[in-house]
Amino acid sequence: MKCEEILGELRKHLGLTAERNGLLDESVLVTARALIPDEVMGNPEHDDYPLVIGRERMMQGDVRGACGQAFTDMYGCWEGTIGEVCRTEPRNNYRRAILVATLNAVMRFAGEVEGTTHCKDDGPAACAGELADFVNEEGYAGPFVLIGYQPRFAEALASMGELRIVDMDERNIGQRRAGVRVQGPDSTEAALKGAGCAFVTGSTIVNGTIERFLGLARPTVFYGVTIAGAARVLGLTRFCPRSL
């Protein structure tokens, strides 16, 4: 399934869910704004998370107090109706972030999904602490591939077996993280080919690369709040136990 088709499914689900809940034609305002790291994560013990040190920010949609977030490198403020979100072509990372944050908020409002906002304070470290149990319970085995550098996940996965890390951030590529040299996006296919299990950042739904990670011949787990609603719609496995 191509990214355009995937986004089409999300727009369709957003429209149907909004209509069922009386949100589509009602003059409901949807606001997405760029959140600073402290607002999203509180005060985590570690300061090496991409959200803290990177150029990315979290967009947040608010629908009658139900919030949904989306991680993106192309952010800004937007305000309109849910109907407008459904009708707007998600042609870039900014527009896709608006769609995904809104979808997460609407599905949260409708009771279709939980965990649509980022964990705070010691949440990220605690989340990674549950990763080993999750891997063992599901019967997953390495070699592991981590698509999108998440520091605590990298440490946890490296402690369980062979690990390859692929990231888009040029500041990470070529550097050693958790004892592993980070590779760039051009190494994605090679990394996946030898993998026993892949952990993929949910922000791939926003940056338009998610189609590369669907239908793989190995267990694939998407992590983070960004993918919350999309994972439910598309039937994907998601790991994000400490999300709020």
What pTM did the predictor assign?
0.89
Tell me what percent of the residues of the chain surpass a pLDDT of 70: 88
* Residues in CB range of 183: below 8 A, 6 or more apart: 164, 165, 166, 167, 173, 191
The tens digit of pLDDT for each residue in 134-143 reads: 999 999 999 9
Report the CATH architecture of 123-239.
3-Layer(aba) Sandwich (3.40)
pLDDT at residue 77, rounded to an integer? 82
The tens digit of pLDDT for each residue in 184-220 reads: 999 999 999 989 999 999 999 999 999 999 999 999 9
Does residue 49 have a pLDDT over 50? Answer: no
Does residue 40 have a pLDDT over 50? Answer: no
Does residue 163 have a pLDDT over 60? Answer: yes
Q: What's the whole-number mean pLDDT along residues 43-65? A: 64
Q: Which residues pair with 80 in a beta bridge?
A: 30
Q: pLDDT band at 90, cuts 50/70/90?
A: very high
Does residue 76 have a pLDDT over 90? Answer: no
pLDDT at residue 53, rounded to an integer? 39
Higher pLDDT among residues 124 and 42, named by residue? 124
Task: Give the residue extent of every domain in the chain.
Answer: 3-109, 123-239
Q: pLDDT band at 32, cuts 50/70/90?
A: low
- For the chain, the three-class secondary structure string (H helix, E strand, C coil) is CCHHHHHHHHHHHHHHHHHHCCCCCCCCCEEEEEECHHHHHCCCCCCCCHHHHCCCEEEEEEECCEEEEEEECCCCCEEECHHHHHHCCCCCHHHHHHHHHHHHHHHHHCCCCCCCCCCCCCHHHHHHHCHHHHHHHHCCCCCEEEECCCHHHHHHHHCCCCEEEECCCCCCCCCEECCEECECHHHHHHHHHCCCEEEEECCHHHHCCHHHHCCCCCCEEEECCCCHHHHHHHCCEEECCCCC
